[in-house]
Amino acid sequence: MTYSLERWAIDLLKATKNQTKTAKLLRCGVNQLNRIMHRSVERGLHRRSLQGIQHVSVDEKALKRNHVYATIVSDSARGVVIDVGEGRTKKGTIALLERIFAEIKGAVETITTDMWKAYIKAVKTVFPNGTLIHDRFHLIQYLNKAINRVRRREVKIHPELKGSRYALLKNEHNRTKKQDEIFNVIQEANLQVSLAWRLREEFKGIFECKSFAEAKKYFELWLASVQETAVQEVIHIAEMFQRHFDGVCNALCHKQSNAKAERINGKIQEVKTIGRGYRKFENFRIAILFFCGGLDLYPQHSG
């Protein structure tokens, strides 16, 4: 493929995020496009410099329904993916982080992750002097999962909960009129899922606290409120937050925005959805780095 055509192929792939559609537009094979993506990412990784990275995010992404995961390592400040590892074990994550940051481990100041034990242990092993953060994005994600578990439990005896998932998980200003109506019906029914939703909203107040002491007091009051409700799904999450409270408070001290984390997560989900799943891990890794890595993908003109 010529220099100009390869650049055109990269542009089309960026626009469609779909190899099959791009192959039809270019009248070439999908395998040929796959090779272009691999070459482009290899070029980009070779040209890329990791100097200056101080804030790192380690996250998981489900590849398939049967608990097949990938580990996504991102530059939190720039909002780009640095690399992707197969699985989410402690050993694999340590190997991934050591490979990426071998020369610059000392420069990394903060590492944001969820409360998956393997990630926490891996981060503490590779970055013993780094600050571990459990950010708002992951904390609210945990509470959203708890709300959905309560909803799934109660929907068996409360049919009015059918189709209510997004009405409960969305913020008030993001709900549609129909979702507002569903939400109001649920609130009036006084179900446990309503309590779970209220506890999530109350938890958000911790992000307004100005000090560790204030946050600790707020959390203790919130935890007591959670325990009084007897909503087991939320109690389980609250007790996990309590075990990892230093990481929660570190999020308050560093005040990192969730916007880039949410944007990366959304872009990866889009790539995964449009690609309709990836049978081979390496193809998934290349796709994520191609679309979310912020790499210089284009070939250089030899003429």
Res 251: pLDDT: 86
The amino acid occupying position 179 is: Q
User: What are the structure tokens assigned to 165, written together?
Assistant: 């998932």
Res 159: pLDDT: 83
Res 81: pLDDT: 96
Mapped onto helix, strand or coil, the DSSP state of residue 73 is strand
Give pLDDT tens digits for 134-150: 999 899 999 999 999 99
Res 66: pLDDT: 67
Q: How far apart are CA 189 and CA 168, in angstroms?
A: 14
Q: What is the 3-state secondary structure (H, E, C) of 218-287?
A: HHHHHHHHHHHHCCHHHHHHHHHHHHCHHHHHHHHHHCCCCHHHHHHHHHHHHHHHHCCCCCCHHHHHHH
Quick one: fold of 55-132+262-279? Nucleotidyltransferase; domain 5 (3.30.420)
Sort 172 into a burial class: Cβ within 10 Å, 0-12 / 13-18 / 19+: exposed
Among 299, 298, 287, 301, smallest CA distance to 16 is for 287
Positions in the chain short of pLDDT 70: 1, 65-66, 256-258, 276-277, 301-303
Whether the CB-CB separation of 85 and 298 falls below 8 Å is answered with: no
User: What are the structure tokens assigned to 99, written together?
Assistant: 């490979």
Q: How far apart are CA 161 and CA 168, in angstroms?
A: 10
What ranges do the domains of the chain cover? 55-132+262-279, 136-254
pTM of the model: 0.88
Q: How far apart are CA 66 and CA 116, in angstroms?
A: 18
What value does the CA radius of gyration of the chain take, rounded to a whole number of Å?
Answer: 22
